Amino acid sequence: MKVAAFSAVEDFMRDARMLDKAVVECVPNFSEGRDRSTIHAIAEAIASVQEVTLLDIDPGADTNRTVYTFAGKPLAVIEAALAAARTAANLITMEAHAGSHPRMGALDVCPFIPISGISMAECVQLARDFGARLAQELEVPVYLYEEAAAKPSRRSLADIRSGEYEGLAAKLADPEWRPDFGPARFNPRWGATVTGAREILLAYNVNLNTEDVSVAKSIALELRESGKILKNPDASPVLDDSGQPKRVPGRLKAVRAIGWHVQELHCAQVSMNILDYKVTPLWKAFEAVSQEAERRGFAVSGSELVGLAPAAALVESGRYFQRKAKASPGLPDRELVKAAVKAMGLDSRGDFDPDKKIIEWAYRRKDRLMDRSVSDFSDELSSSSPAPGGGTVSACMGALGAALAAMVANLSIGKKGFEEKASILESIAMEAQCIKSELLGRADEDCDAFNRILDALRLPKRNPEESERRSTAVQEATKQAALVPLGSAKSCLGAMELCAQALEQGRVSSATDAAVGFLAAKAGLEGALLNVKINLGGIKDESFVISVQRDIETLLDRSSACEKSYHSLLQKTLGF
């Protein structure tokens, strides 16, 4: 059950968090996958930039290509990409390069990807700034693609890279292919670079139990969105009325695919770029390759993710495979990721570490309260420090309530007599997991909000200008300190409602678990609202205060109605 936004203050809270936590991902592909010293030197250049975290290094000997993934503050990400390029300029020579992956430059492609707190338009500007600086510093040709493309004919990376490095000199001589930045002359050592902004792309490879590359190529043609060209018996293309080759579209939308042989694995591989995992989920790509392989008398022997993927891609795949196994899809995210990894053989080449392969988990702060043991958290809570405090505990109480709602639903799914309720129980479990995760995040946010007030209070006030800046900072920080627990209270209400549903729909033997969950979430809501009210007293913006007070009244009205329903269900289910 979704808890709707209550007022415009929700937008203020979201915008403030985003501005403070803007994160951009950058995934440069360098044309070197064999020389360890070069690979390491580029990695060091990236890691040397402050406010950037190097998340993954994925070298390939057969492709002779290394994909780096890093994330951080927008301007810091540009500096890291430039530092990596400068290093590569001294170490990579394209004249000697050979590999199975299409390429046209030492830094072949460098996309900027919005993760949080930043728009696609802003990432487009980052890509253009990077491209201009790269071209100026190294005197190399740079092209813009995808969302940053200067014209429609250059949106596609494949179109820009057509002819690859070997055909680059001729391309640069063509006025139609004048680079967007830098000189229109061939640089034999560097080649050319493509940069741009795009949504998250999944580089996903599926291994076949054969070394016959023609099988992989055949499957790739069948699946990729662009499909294949129809052929006559003499292998010439079938032409349409305008004289153009006729194409049969592939099975998978927003997917590019090729087939090749991977020497180190001794197998053929279907290599895919999933351009939009919401259009073609990871599980769907895996299942499609499996079906096409089986149709040809072969099987899939595992798969791999090159670089990192968003949590949602693997979580959704885990839900699919749980449903396929007639098990609950409403498990915690980590369990769903584990299910996806096993089902798709993502660990077939060794351990698949979610904390290194999932973007949000790899980048998230390392000092989160919610990652500590219960004992450590309780110890810190009982210390003389004012934070974490009641606001953090309120969020935790709500999270525990949501967790119990999910537990009751999961214990009921698949049990005899609950077949007709399966979809309702799945919905309860999945929504409860979402609310649980949101509240655990708010537990840390509440502590951060208090610390921001302390930081604002420490600002100097030696003159009227400084006093004004300090006063404004204190007011903004206090608004945040009110809005964070307000968000917790809304989520706690959602947990209460889900516990009531679990009490009604779940097994009688688990009814007391649902009841305890309801009481925990109710305590969380009331505790969170106490924290909202105490902060409202220090806010001078009357319209803001009135808006939040209306939200509080709405929450209390809904909470009261939910509690009446809960007591009625408790009496009906347990008789007390």
Q: Which residues are catalytic?
A: 101, 446
Residue 9 tokens read as: 């203050």
In a 3-state reduction of DSSP, which class is residue 251?
coil
DSSP letter (8 states) at residue 253: T
DSSP-derived secondary structure letter, 438: H
Q: Which residue has the tokens 């809501």?
A: 525
Query: 557 — phi, psi (to 5°)?
Result: -65, -45
Rounded to 5 degrees, what are φ and ψ at 570? -65, -45
Q: Is the peptide bond between 388 and the residue preceding it cis, with omega within 30 degrees of 0? A: yes
Query: Pairing state of beta strands 107-116 and 193-197?
Result: parallel
Who contacts 258 (Cβ-Cβ below 8 Å, separation ≥6)? 217, 220, 224, 270, 271
Distance of alpha carbon 224 from alpha carbon 251, whole angstroms: 7
> SS3 letters for 163-219?
CCHHHHHHHHHCHHHCCCECCCCCCCCCECEEEEECCCCEEEEEEECCCCHHHHHHH
What end-to-end distance do the CA atoms of the chain give, in Å? 26
Find out whether 254 and 276 touch, Cβ atoms under 8 Å: yes
User: What are 358's two structure tokens?
Assistant: 């999932």
Residues with Cβ < 8 Å from 79, sequence gap 6 or more? 49, 52
Residue for token pair 């904390």: 355
Q: What burial letters (b/e) apply to 371-391, b meaning 16+ CB within 10 Å? A: eeeeeebeeebeeeeebbebb
What's the rounded Cα separation, in Å, for the pair 550 and 547? 5
